[in-house]
């Protein structure tokens, strides 16, 4: 899987711009549409991983788009963007196949957490990658080891879980908060910890990756595992 692409269909310019900016800053590729006609066209024809969909749109409603998706792209990951007081509409959208919803006004932090969760569930439905050869190192999760020439470094259970998450999200900078949530099961906003950084440092030592050629720190965005 490459860097996830997210399609945003939202007619409110200020909301759309804020969502696009937050997603782009977090490392996602973003497509955007400002009305139901453009949104429906992109939803049915573009290549993307997740759709953020407003329900009340000009030309075609969010329900129209969900109905069309159900016919040609069943199982497409969708998060509904809805206003307060639209509970019945949210329930209808969920019954039509949406995965989740966020209620306007929402914070960037809440939106990104929902996006992260839905993308993770979609990732977990894909075949699991268990090994990778990069820069002369073989990362073998089944054997819980890293092999470099004739030498071997054993991996802890946590290191295996961390590498498995990177392998499921190749070529994408993974934020520290996302790793804390999904590898450690910790709410990053309720505790301060340097455990991610410590584990990354240990993995780099085992990979002999002094130059961060394999496990790269992407400033302000997270960590990325090289794919080849």
Q: Of 2 and 203, which is predicted with more confidence?
A: 203
> Above 80 in pLDDT, residue 58?
yes
Model confidence at 1, pLDDT cuts 50, 70, 90, reads very low
Cα 220 from chain centre: 16
Whole-number average pLDDT of the chain: 88
In percent, how much of the chain has pLDDT > 70?
96
Handedness of CA 168, 174, 180, 185 (dihedral sign): negative
Among 181, 152, 173, 156, CA closest to 226: 173
User: How much is the pLDDT for 126?
Assistant: 55
- Left if phi > 0, otherwise alpha if psi is -120 to 50, otherwise beta: which for 208? left
Please tell us whether the domain made up of 131-225 is placed in CATH 1.10.10.10: yes
DSSP for residue 194: -
> What CATH number does the domain located at 5-124 have?
3.40.50.2300
C-alpha–C-alpha distance, residues 196 and 183, integer Å = 9
Q: What is the pTM of this model?
A: 0.56
Phi/psi of residue 5, nearest 5 degrees: -105, 135
Among 68, 30, 24, CA closest to 48: 30
CATH 1.10.10.10 in the chain, residues?
Answer: 131-225
Residue 72 is encoded by which pair of tokens? Answer: 């040609």
Per-residue pLDDT of 74-109, as tens digits, reads: 778 999 998 877 788 888 989 898 999 999 999 999
């Amino acid at each position: 899987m490459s860097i996830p692409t997210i399609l945003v269909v939202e007619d409110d310019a200020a909301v759309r711009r804020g969502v696009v900016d937050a997603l782009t800053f977090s490392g996602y590729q973003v497509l955007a549409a400002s009305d139901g006609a453009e949104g429906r066209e992109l939803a049915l024809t573009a290549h993307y991983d997740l759709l953020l969909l407003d329900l009340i749109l000009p030309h075609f409603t969010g329900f129209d788009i969900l109905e069309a998706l159900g016919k040609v792209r069943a199982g497409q990951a969708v998060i509904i963007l809805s206003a307060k007081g639209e509970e019945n509409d949210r329930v209808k959208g969920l019954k039509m196949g949406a995965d989740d919803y966020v209620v306007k006004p929402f914070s960037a932090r809440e939106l990104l957490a929902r996006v992260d969760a839905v993308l993770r569930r979609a990732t977990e439905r894909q075949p699991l990658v268990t090994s990778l050869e990069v820069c002369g190192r073989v990362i073998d999760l089944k054997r819980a080891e890293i092999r470099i020439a004739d030498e071997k470094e054993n991996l802890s259970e946590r290191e295996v879980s961390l590498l498995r998450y990177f392998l499921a999200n190749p070529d994408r900078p993974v934020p520290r908060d996302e790793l804390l949530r999904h590898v450690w099961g910790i709410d990053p906003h309720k505790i301060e910890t340097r455990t991610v950084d410590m584990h990354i440092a240990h993995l780099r030592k085992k990979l002999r990756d002094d130059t961060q050629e394999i496990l790269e720190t992407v400033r302000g965005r997270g960590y990325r595992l090289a794919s080849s």
